[in-house]
Amino acid sequence: MNTKTIRYIIYIFIIVICIVAIGIGVYAQFFMEEDIGNNYDNDISAGGNQNLVTGQEIKQSFLDLFTDEFYIGNFDDSNVKKLDNSNELVYTAYSSSETVEGKYMIDVNIPVINIEGEVVNEYNSITQSVFVDKINAVISNSSVYTIYNLDYISYVNNNILSLAIMATIKEGNNPQRIIVQTYNYNLATGENVTLDDILEDRDIEKSVVENKIKTTINKASEDAKKMAQSGYNVYQRNPEDEMYKLENIQNFMEGPNGELYIIFAYGNNNYTSEMDVIEI
């Protein structure tokens, strides 16, 4: 084989390699990216990318809601019987910001639901016993220096009025507590709204909510155990606790855009500010 023939063979070989390389590049550009995009979309629809929004981000978005305001949206409340016609359906009944050196520092905004009826009377009675009585005790007979902050937020979505009250309490050397109380009221029927009512109205499968609660609580429990093993004093959850069953959940609310928040505020019964919030 002469030198000229060998040169032609080498040229042809190089041209073939270039054509193959170009073909691979075109395939990668138009087909592999499409496959990746499809797989990404499938992961999201299957819940594979749930951590795009973390539990801490959901919790923080919930905490940021508490601005001591009431948002009625487009709801017409003209047929709702108010206790005081000069005020909105939810308003700040008592507000105080006071510091007494060596005794207490309080910054509170107490809401009242301004609607006639036994259900709402019960709501307001709970607010009185859980939050207002505690403020009075701090002011009149605080044995240790206490910091007490209280805020609320309220929305109307369709016919459902949701009110959430959150208190942050630090008494002496005890760990800080966060206490959350929610109320959900049907403005059309005058009845208390349960979590089952919300899920049924939205056609949400209970199993979907149960799985989301289970996943969130298990993850939070594992994280707390790891922190405890590292020497941190953290609140320990029991994922098998009856509180996580749907029929036992009392603390929930609908947010500004209809988001459904399920709240597990462990400070309601313990000296802790730990809280798990599930958004549906």
Q: pLDDT, tens digit, for every residue of 229-250? A: 999 989 999 999 999 999 999 9
Name beta bridge partners: 170: 147
CA separation (Å) from 96 to 71, 104, 152, 191, 246?
Answer: 22, 12, 14, 32, 37
Q: For 74-91, write each residue's pLDDT tens digit.
A: 999 999 999 999 999 999
Select from 63, 64, 89, 65 the least CA-distant residue to 76. 89
Q: How far apart are CA 189 and CA 185, in angstroms?
A: 9
At residue 31, the pLDDT reads 39
At residue 23, the pLDDT reads 47
Q: How far apart are CA 163 and CA 262, in angstroms?
A: 13
Q: For 259-273, write each residue's pLDDT tens digit.
A: 999 999 999 999 999
Q: How far apart are CA 3 and CA 188, in angstroms?
A: 96
For residue 29, give the DSSP letter: I
Q: How far apart are CA 35 and CA 48, in angstroms?
A: 16
As a residue count, the chain comes to: 280
Select from 260, 208, 268, 219 the least CA-distant residue to 243. 268
At residue 141, the pLDDT reads 86
At residue 1, the pLDDT reads 55
Amino acid at 107: D
Which of the residues in the chain have pLDDT under 70?
1-53
Architecture in CATH for domain 53-279: 2-Layer Sandwich (3.30)
